């Protein structure tokens, strides 16, 4: 009898059995390793985020927020100078031409001070103070001394404000204007335009009708930064969770944009659930909406997810400001930014409440993405998507902004004018570009804790 064949079969079965056991063991090892890895990673992520929610003062999270020295915020100003003032006034040129000059570059510093924790409702109150510092090595030599020609903002703004006034008030305005010898165009330096702009009519009006002249110095940057130390209240802690982390409850002890007082009949221009841009909510995703509040813009605006990008070693989510952000709402009664006297066009958002009721409106730079009819009487605008759209790129897990560009243009809006001198009425139904401003925020990628934590959470 041949016993060799059964022995070979037994050997074959044993080999198969061993291979099956080894394969099963390896597969189980991979499965358990993977489970352990993902559980450990999830627990690590949750531990970091839960700890960050509490914003304890000895933690890196709190120090990053209070000390923003690792974040470079650059403020670039672009001003507009009229090149054909005389020809336009004489009727030789149909359109008033503006030339862009800049950038004039400053560094903006942000300080959070007078911090108070309110443990009962899990909120933090603090002062947010912003200042500008001229960056000489980033600017053209002598740029602040360069002379520009601008429409006389004081004269035209006063006329626009007084359009609906009675004939006696307009007569008084004409008398003040005549005694001041102000012209409708002014030659001035860029420095004066930004920091020390005044006018004879302002000084005269201050003596006669002081209620009409809240500020004598209407330099653009002086107006913005003269009082830029504001009390803010935000949410923190597990009580509010990731989605409401560091969202604003109140600004200057109110829930509305400064200047909007609903109890006095103003629209409820809410800033609740917005962010000042230093921190955003945690665990951002493609459905998240970032609501960005900037005092310069005089409103909070929503930004929506566009794409995933990399900045250095960090994965970021890019959220953009849509082209329609400054359009009119279908229900005008709910539109807080339609303008004080007449409805502004699509692409324009009222800023007058933040700037002493002067008829100022924000648009995208060079009126990018919108065809504004009031701009048809001017030339020199060159809209460009890449240069003029606004966005923020945030690390999605921690919600820390790593690259931001906020761009907006300020314009003087002139309604149809009657009862004023002919040289003033020539500006009827025009939008006059004053300047546009670009805030660029970059976080230092060499900051080791941010890179290491972000890398560990995204791998």
Report the pLDDT value the prediction gives residue 448, as an integer from 0 to 100.
44
Residues of the chain with pLDDT > 70: what percent?
Answer: 85
Residues 288, 405, 226: CA angle, nearest 5 degrees: 110
- pLDDT score of 41 more than 80: no
| pLDDT band at 278; cut points 50, 70, 90 | confident
Count of H-run helices and E-run strands, the chain: 11, 16
User: Sorting pLDDT into bands at 50, 70 and 90, what band is 4?
Assistant: low
Residue pair 243/215 in contact by the 8 Å Cβ criterion: no
DSSP state of 226: T
Identify whether the C-beta of residue 443 lies closer than 8 Å to the C-beta of residue 74.
Answer: no
The span from the CA of 168 to the CA of 171, in Å, is 5
- How far, in Å, CA of 322 to CA of 324, rounded? 5
Distance CA(358)–CA(154), nearest Å, equals: 9
Q: What is residue 22's predicted lDDT score, i.e. its pLDDT?
A: 54
Q: Are 328 and 346 in contact (CB under 8 A)?
A: yes
Lowest mean pLDDT among 15-19, 117-121, 315-319: 15-19
Grade residue 36 by pLDDT with cuts at 50, 70 and 90. Answer: very low
Asked if residue 42 has pLDDT above 70, the reply is no
Give residue 212's pLDDT: 66
CA atoms of 317 and 458, how far apart (whole Å): 12
**Per-residue pLDDT tens digits for 366-375:** 999 999 999 9
- Measure the CA dihedral 225/398/441/403, to 10°: -150
pLDDT for 254 equals 95
Q: Residue 442 pLDDT more than 90?
A: no
24, burial (CB in 10 Å: exposed 0-12, middle 13-18, buried 19+): exposed
CA dist 281 → 53, 266, 304, 442 (Å): 10, 30, 14, 18
Q: Residue 38: is its pLDDT beyond 50?
A: no
Distance CA 359, CA 378 (A): 18
User: Looking at the predicted structure, is the pLDDT value of residue 14 above 60?
Assistant: no
What does the alpha-carbon distance between residue 311 and residue 445 come to, in Å, rounded to a whole number?
8
- Encode pLDDT of 228-269 as tens digits: 899 999 999 888 988 999 999 999 999 999 999 999 999 999
Residue 8 — pLDDT band, cuts 50, 70, 90? Answer: low
The whole-chain average pLDDT of the chain stands at: 86
Tokens describing residue 89: 């006034």
Helix (H) or strand (E) holding 106: strand 96-118
Q: How far apart are CA 333 and CA 348, in angstroms?
A: 16
* Pair 358, 413: CB distance under 8 Å: no
Residue-wise pLDDT for 63-108, tens only, equals 888 888 778 899 999 999 999 999 999 999 999 999 999 999 999 9
Mean pLDDT of 213-226: 85
For residues 48 and 246, which has the higher predicted lDDT (pLDDT)?
A: 246
The predicted-structure confidence for 180-207, as pLDDT tens digits, reads as follows: 888 999 999 999 999 999 888 887 777 7
Asked if residue 459 has pLDDT above 70, the reply is: no
**Neighbour count for residue 147 (Cβ, 10 Å):** 11
pLDDT on residue 447: 46
**Token pair in block for residue 255:** 């829930």
Q: What is the pLDDT of residue 35?
A: 45
Distance (Å, rounded) from C-alpha 74 to C-alpha 414? 31
Task: Single out the residue of 345, 347, 413 nearest to residue 378, CA to CA.
Answer: 413
Q: What is the pTM of this model?
A: 0.86
Compute the distance between CA of residue 96 and CA of residue 151 in angstroms, rounded to an integer: 10
CA distances from 457 to 59, 182, 411 (A): 18, 62, 44
The encoded tokens of residue 113 equal 């001070």
Say what the pLDDT of residue 9 is.
Answer: 54
Rounded distance between C-alpha atoms, residue 376 and residue 20, angstroms? 80
Tokens of 12: 């074959």
Dist. CA 344–CA 352, nearest whole Å: 12
Q: How confident is the model at residue 18 (pLDDT cuts 50, 70, 90)?
A: low
Per-residue pLDDT tens over the stretch 67-78: 887 788 999 999
Backbone angles phi, psi at 296, to 5 degrees: -60, -35
The Cα 22–Cα 19 span in angstroms is 5
Place of tokens 């309604």: 415
Q: Three-class SS string for 140-185?
A: CCCHHHCEEEEECHHHHHHHHHCCCCCHHHHHHHHHHHHHHCCCCE
pLDDT at 119 over 70: yes
Say how far apart CA 12 and CA 107 lie, in whole Å. Answer: 77
Q: In angstroms, what CA-CA distances link 348 with 293, 352, 363? A: 17, 12, 5
When pLDDT is cut at 50, 70 and 90, the band that residue 15 belongs to is low
Across the range 256-283, mean pLDDT stands at 93
For 29, other C-beta atoms within 10 Å of its C-beta total 10
69-73, 167-171, 232-236, 359-363 — which is least confidently predicted? 69-73
């Amino acid at each position: 009898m041949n016993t060799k064949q059964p022995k070979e079969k037994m050997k074959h079965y044993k080999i198969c059995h061993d291979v099956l056991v080894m394969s099963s063991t390896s597969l189980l090892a991979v499965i358990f390793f993977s489970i352990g890895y993902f559980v450990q990673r999830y627990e690590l992520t949750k531990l970091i985020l839960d700890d960050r929610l509490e914003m304890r003062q000895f933690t890196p999270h709190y120090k990053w927020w209070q000390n923003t020295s690792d974040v470079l915020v650059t403020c670039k100003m672009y001003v507009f100078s009229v090149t054909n003032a005389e020809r336009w006034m004489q009727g030789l040129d149909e359109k008033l031409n503006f030339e862009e000059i800049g950038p004039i570059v400053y560094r903006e510093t942000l300080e959070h001070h007078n911090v108070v924790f309110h443990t009962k409702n899990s909120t933090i109150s603090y002062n947010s103070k912003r200042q500008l510092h001229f960056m000489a090595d980033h600017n053209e030599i002598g740029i602040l001394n360069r002379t520009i020609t601008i429409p006389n903002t004081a004269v035209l703004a006063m006329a626009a404000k007084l359009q609906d006034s009675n004939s006696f008030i307009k007569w008084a305005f004409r008398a003040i204007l005549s005694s001041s010898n102000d012209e409708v165009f002014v030659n001035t330096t860029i420095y004066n335009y930004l920091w020390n702009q005044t006018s004879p009519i302002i000084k005269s009006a201050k003596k006669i009708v002081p209620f009409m002249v809240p500020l004598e110095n209407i330099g653009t940057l002086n107006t913005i930064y003269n009082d830029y130390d504001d009390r803010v209240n935000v949410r923190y802690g597990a009580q509010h969770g990731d989605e409401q982390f560091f969202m604003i409850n109140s600004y200057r002890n109110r829930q509305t944009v400064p200047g909007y007082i609903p109890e006095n009949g103003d629209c409820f221009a809410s800033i609740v659930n917005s962010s000042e841009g230093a921190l955003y909510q945690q665990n951002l995703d493609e459905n998240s909406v970032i609501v960005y509040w900037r005092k310069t813009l005089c409103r909070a605006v929503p930004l929506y997810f566009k794409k995933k990008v990399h900045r250095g070693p960090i994965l970021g989510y890019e959220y953009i400001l849509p082209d329609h952000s400054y359009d009119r709402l279908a229900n005008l009664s709910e539109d807080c930014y339609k303008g004080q006297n007449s409805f502004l066009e699509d692409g324009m958002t009222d800023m007058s409440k933040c700037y002493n009721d002067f008829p100022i409106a924000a648009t995208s730079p060079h009126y990018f993405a919108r065809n504004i009819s009031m701009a048809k009487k001017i030339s020199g605008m060159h809209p460009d998507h890449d240069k003029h759209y606004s966005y923020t790129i945030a690390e999605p897990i921690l919600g820390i902004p790593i690259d931001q560009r906020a761009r907006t243009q300020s314009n003087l809006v002139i309604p149809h004018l009657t009862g004023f001198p002919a040289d003033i009425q020539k500006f009827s139904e025009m939008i006059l570009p004053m300047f546009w401003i670009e805030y660029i925020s970059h976080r230092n990628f060499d900051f080791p804790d941010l890179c290491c934590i972000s890398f560990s959470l995204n791998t």
